[in-house]
Amino acid sequence: SWPKCEAKLKLAYLKSKVEGTAKLYIVNLEQTIDNYQIALYILEGKYLDKEFIKDELFKELLNAKPEFHVEYEKTKVYIQKTMNNLEDLKRNYSCDLITEPSGGNAFISHIIFSKLSPELQKALIIDTKKTYPTLKEINDNYERIIKMIVKTKQPYKNDTDKQGTRNLNYQTKNAANFATPVVSNTNNSLNGAASNSVYKPNNDFVKHCRFCNTSGHVSTHCFKHSTYKDRLTACADNNLCTRCTSHKHVASDCLGAKGTLSKSCKFCQKNDHAACMCPSKAPSKPRSSDSYVCLSSNEDGPSQFLLPVFEIAMEGHNGNIVKFNALLDTASHRSYVNKDVKSKLKLNVVKKVQYDVRTFIGNGAKNLEETSVKVFLPSGRHHVMPILIDDEFDINLNVINFEAAHNNFKSNKFKLAANFEENSNSIHLQGLIGCDILQFVRELKVVECMNGPAYQLASGLVPFGNIDQFLYPHQICKYAGRAIHNYKTIISSVKECRETITNFVVNPKRTYNDPFESFFDESLVERRIDHMLSIESLGINEDPDHVSNYDQMKIDEFKNGIEIRNKQVFVNLVWHDNVNLLPSNHVICLSILRSVYGKLDRTNRVDEYNNIFLDYEKENIIEVFECKPEQFHNYVWIPHHPVIKDDEVATTKLRPVFNCSLKTANKPSINETSYAGVNLMADMCNLLILFRTNKYTLLGDLRKAFLMIKLKSEKDKNRFCFFVKLGDKLVCYRYTTIIFGYNSSPFILNYVIKYLADLYPNDDVCDIMKNKFFVDNLVTTSNDVQKLTNVYKESISRFDQAGFDLRSCNTNNNDLRNLMKQDNKYIEHDNRYDKVLGYRYDSDKDIIKLSKVNLNHLAKSKRAVLSQTSKIFDPLSFCAPVTVRGKTLVSGLWAKAKGEDHWDEEISVEAQKIWSDLSHDLNNLEQMTFPKYTVTDSEPFDLILFCDVSTR
């Protein structure tokens, strides 16, 4: 039968293949069916050590790696051979690393994936939607992916003088760490937190010249060093062999000295030099070069700033690869390392040089050493570059709170380009990388990292700047040192201040009702109602252009202090001469703080209130500063308390309010010592009339406008200090901007906006900036949609140049509304009606109505009735037939005045009934709507006025 014949044939074949002593063991076996198995048994017992063979297969799996090939042919061989070994282990040695899921399968999948090129890794990640593809997924997809990569790749240029660079095995082996991470094996999207370290490999051949150390041409075609003499000089400057331009040996040790170079010169066909060093090559016009080195200095002691540090690798003349942390210094022309790196590189060729060191703090000669090494760039490429060696270079950066920041980077899964020591604030630098190397790091760009900046390299992120940008708010408080104090310890020694003072700050009683509250509350600023309602603000002035000499002097003083830098407006505040009389008020502020946080604690709103300050701190609106309790009296402190807004249109429900009008004894308040400025606000009635003209409307709001204006002077900052209770800590804060409740804020904001407008041509946008803003609210109209769209875009751009954010925009044009939504500038609330100068506006239906009020129909005194009637805000007199009844009622009550205390006397029953009926009518006025669009400025119209000379 066939099985029997097959066994005999196998035995015959086995005898023909076995040689030496092994053949003697089986040569005499007869050609029978059973003897084939006996032969196998004999040979396995004598020669087959399964454990040894299994160990050898394991070694091959660990040590094998794909060699470089432009079309990945050797990668295909590597994967197929690896799969064969895995099948052999499973079938013959009872070691299954193929079957999923298992720990062995996961381990071998990681090994194989880590040895693939970064380009293939990234393609697999994208194709499988997994950061860590399995063995099966790699085996099933690699041929198709390689075919796609090769098809879309630019052709490889096989230059005769191949002095370009390719991907490096050492970098490829570790490049898996640079791939964009994915949240989990089942996640279909890239991890946003870690996507800042995206690695974009490029394995194309790159031409690089060793003479001038630039890419784009090979050494043979260097026009900067075009003559043979120039090239000899370049070899000497860069420590290169003058025969083959290698950095690993000198000319006397070169194979060219014996005429045995593997490739002959293409110009003269000789084998004693490379083509780039041919004396017979026709020269072109030579160009001169210079070389300077700028060495950075380092401050001793701890610093608040993190300098850009990344890990770089260099290869010495004997193949030693050294990785170390280096400073990324764009201010240095040259790169250099310290003596420790030099020792590890085991350099053969080093020469002594003297350089003119040029820094910002002085010049001088410095003795250094110079050599050429292979520099591995973060992208995986390498260049042979000259570097300097400074034996005195030894920098340890001691960055305050870096340990906490480093932990934050790890918890956010940021891939860092540097190798930092764990649990340490110290960063040891062994080198500095200057522009000579950085010019080849083409992927270098600045990205966001937490709240600060970072350079993005292929190997990861390089964060730099103020360390607070990489800390969470509670960490900044925790590590702020002496600026933080125990709340209970300090507050226990503070006496209770008088109840009248506490009530004045926490529950101020108004002597009048604020008619602007319905639309001005979001501005969070002292409104100075007495000034805003003066006859001058209504346009009644003997000389509208008249400004007193004192006002002009103070305005000029303020103007001269305005400065715009880094898209931010900085100002110096203007004060009266009595500013030196300002008291500290720290005892009162601490007493009020205790009362405020007691109420917040009872309503469970402490965290909500504190988060506002933490957000302010994150935006650099306020800052923690160092102040010991014995130094409190050296600063001016302001009390604050929370105000809750239940208005559904309000963007801020809970906000802190500061009282700059607090005064004690005979001392002035902050508002009394501040120059409040002249009235620069646009006429509100004019804006309301403009709002009702023309077909299309553009509305907007400057986000936190007052808080975007920074204080330049430390003295100004020290006059706006306040306390906050964070946990059991008392934190000292101060404003870096103008503050809510400060009476000069309206003048400052209006003047700054007009100042910014004057920086641009006198166009429509300039007119809007000067005349169409009421405090921080924009109101303008037009019949031309395109014009309104252009104004919208340009206004955003101009304000952005000064750090202002024009947002909460609205319009009644659908195209412009869609643009606002695309720009994330559209109103944030979901309410149908938006606030416009005290009225409510429905942009969809283009109608307006009065703001909603809730009047008390049980008011029984003249003061109460007057306060209630003044809550109706209707300057355009839409509802005059109803509101006039309130005026006649108040007029009638006034006529019956008796004595000085008549305002708080109870009114008659008849008057109470009149008020009760009227209050219901007034409450219902908000149900009436009126068309917004009335007239157009392109057509003439008549204005008819009616008046009544009656006494009532």
Task: Count CB neighbours of 313 within 10 A.
Answer: 19
Q: What is the mean pLDDT of residues 529-538?
A: 44
Residue 537 has pLDDT above 90, yes or no: no
User: In which residue are the tokens 């149900």 written?
Assistant: 927
- Residue 149: alpha-carbon gap to chain centroid: 34
Query: Which of 26-35, 68-77, 113-122, 141-150 shows the lowest per-residue confidence on average (mean pLDDT)?
Result: 26-35
Indicate the CATH number for domain 305-466. Answer: 2.40.70.10
- Would you say 471 and 614 are in contact if contact means Cβ atoms under 8 Å apart? no
Q: How many CA atoms lie within 13 A of 561 on its CB side?
A: 20
CA distance 885 to 920: 12
The pLDDT value recorded for residue 553 is 93
DSSP at 712 = -
Q: Return the SS3 of 112.
A: helix
Residue 243 has pLDDT above 70, yes or no: yes
Max avg pLDDT among 218-227, 365-374, 543-552, 849-858? 849-858
Residue type at position 372: S
Q: Which of 798, 784, 527, 872 shows the shortest CA–CA distance to 679?
A: 527
Alpha-carbon dihedral 184, 186, 188, 193, rounded to 10 degrees:
-10
Residue 584 has pLDDT above 80, yes or no: yes
CA distance 794 to 241: 60
Q: Which of 304, 799, 272 shows the shortest CA–CA distance to 568?
A: 799
CA distance 631 to 794: 48
Residue 514 has pLDDT above 70, yes or no: no
Q: What is the mean pLDDT of residues 439-445?
A: 87
Rounded to a whole number of angstroms, the CA Rg of the chain reads 40
Q: Which of 69, 79, 70, 68 shows the shortest CA–CA distance to 153?
A: 70
Contacts of 41 (CB under 8 A, 6+ apart): none
DSSP at 737 = B
Contacts of 203 (CB under 8 A, 6+ apart): 70, 117, 119, 153, 166, 167
Cis link prior to 101 (omega < 30° from 0)?
Answer: yes
CA distance 906 to 911: 10
The pLDDT value recorded for residue 508 is 58
- Would you say 777 and 519 are in contact if contact means Cβ atoms under 8 Å apart? yes
Residue 66 has pLDDT above 80, yes or no: yes
Residue type at position 457: L
Q: Do domains 305-466 and 499-540+553-846 have the same CATH topology?
A: no
Q: Return the SS3 of 580.
A: helix
Region for 307 from its dihedrals, namely left if φ exceeds 0, alpha if ψ lies in -120 to 50, beta otherwise:
beta
The pLDDT value recorded for residue 287 is 39
* DSSP-assigned letters across all residues of 16-61: HH--THHHHHHTT--S-TTHHHHHHHHHHHHH--HHHHHHHHHHHH
The pLDDT value recorded for residue 799 is 94
Residue type at position 591: S
- Would you say 654 and 503 are in contact if contact means Cβ atoms under 8 Å apart? no
Task: Count CB neighbours of 331 within 10 A.
Answer: 12
The pLDDT value recorded for residue 648 is 54
CA distance 803 to 565: 10
Q: What is the mean pLDDT of residues 747-755?
A: 94
Q: At what angle do helices 135-152 and 73-92 cross, to 10 degrees?
A: 170
How far, CA to CA in Å, does 279 sit from each of 153, 160, 231, 268?
37, 18, 10, 9
The pLDDT value recorded for residue 358 is 56
The pLDDT value recorded for residue 171 is 37
The pLDDT value recorded for residue 362 is 41
CA distance 881 to 871: 16
Residue 363 has pLDDT above 60, yes or no: no
Region for 655 from its dihedrals, namely left if φ exceeds 0, alpha if ψ lies in -120 to 50, beta otherwise:
beta
What is the rounded end-to-end Cα distance, in angstroms, of the chain? 131
CA distance 138 to 145: 10
Query: Which of 183-197, 273-287, 654-668 shows the lowest per-residue confidence on average (mean pLDDT)?
Result: 183-197
Burial grade of 533 (CB within 10 A; 0-12, 13-18, 19 or more)? middle
- Would you say 305 and 398 are in contact if contact means Cβ atoms under 8 Å apart? no
pLDDT-based confidence at 153, cuts 50/70/90? low
Q: How much is the mean pLDDT over the chain?
A: 80
Q: Return the SS3 of 826.
A: strand
Task: Count CB neighbours of 229 within 10 A.
Answer: 12
CA distance 835 to 842: 9
- Would you say 65 and 173 are in contact if contact means Cβ atoms under 8 Å apart? yes
pLDDT-based confidence at 42, cuts 50/70/90? confident
- Residue 535: alpha-carbon gap to chain centroid: 48
Q: What is the mean pLDDT of residues 715-739?
A: 91
Task: Count CB neighbours of 319 within 10 A.
Answer: 9
Region for 35 from its dihedrals, namely left if φ exceeds 0, alpha if ψ lies in -120 to 50, beta otherwise:
alpha
Q: Which of 197, 191, 195 shows the shortest CA–CA distance to 175?
A: 197
Q: Which of 5, 86, 121 shows the shortest CA–CA distance to 458?
A: 121
CA distance 528 to 534: 10
pLDDT-based confidence at 674, cuts 50/70/90? very high
Domain range list for the chain = 2-48, 305-466, 499-540+553-846, 849-931
Q: pLDDT, tens digit, for every residue of 366-417?
A: 788 889 999 999 988 888 889 999 887 878 787 888 888 998 898 888 999 9
- Would you say 812 and 831 are in contact if contact means Cβ atoms under 8 Å apart? no
CA distance 747 to 681: 8
Query: Which of 105-114, 118-127, 767-776, 912-921 shows the lowest per-residue confidence on average (mean pLDDT)?
Result: 118-127
CA distance 44 to 55: 17
| Structure tokens given for 935 | 């007239």
Residue that wins the pLDDT comparison between 580 and 902: 580
pLDDT-based confidence at 931, cuts 50/70/90? very high
Q: What is the mean pLDDT of residues 874-898?
A: 85
- Would you say 902 and 862 are in contact if contact means Cβ atoms under 8 Å apart? yes
DSSP at 269 = -
DSSP at 332 = -
CA distance 637 to 272: 83
Alpha-carbon dihedral 767, 768, 769, 775, rounded to 10 degrees:
130
| Structure tokens given for 47 | 């020669």
Residue type at position 39: A
Q: Which of 453, 267, 459, 301 shows the shortest CA–CA distance to 378?
A: 459
What pTM value is reported for the model? Answer: 0.50
* DSSP-assigned letters across all residues of 177-240: GGSPPBSSTT--SB-TTTGGG------S-B-EETTTTEESS-GGG-STT-SHHHHHHHHHHHT-
Percent of the chain clearing pLDDT 90 (strictly above): 27
Helix (H) / strand (E) element for 374: namely strand 362-376
The pLDDT value recorded for residue 780 is 93
Percent of the chain clearing pLDDT 70 (strictly above): 81
Question: Which CATH superfamily hosts domain 499-540+553-846?
Answer: HIV Type 1 Reverse Transcriptase, subunit A, domain 1 (3.10.10.10)
CA distance 84 to 681: 82
SS (H, E, C) 736-781: CECCCCCCCHHHHHHHHHHHHHCCCCCCHHHHHHHHCEECCEEEEE
What are the start-end ranges of the E strands in 844-932?
847-850, 930-931
Burial grade of 436 (CB within 10 A; 0-12, 13-18, 19 or more)? buried
CA distance 416 to 310: 8
pLDDT-based confidence at 317, cuts 50/70/90? confident
Query: Which of 221-225, 420-424, 588-592, 869-873 shows the lowest per-residue confidence on average (mean pLDDT)?
Result: 221-225
Q: Which neighbouring-strand residues pair with 448? A: 453
| Structure tokens given for 392 | 């005195």
Q: List the Cα angle 29/35/40 in 5-degree steps.
A: 100
Max avg pLDDT among 46-55, 586-595, 653-662? 586-595
Q: pLDDT, tens digit, for every residue of 174-206?
A: 333 333 333 333 333 333 333 333 333 444 455
Contacts of 212 (CB under 8 A, 6+ apart): 222, 224, 225, 234, 289
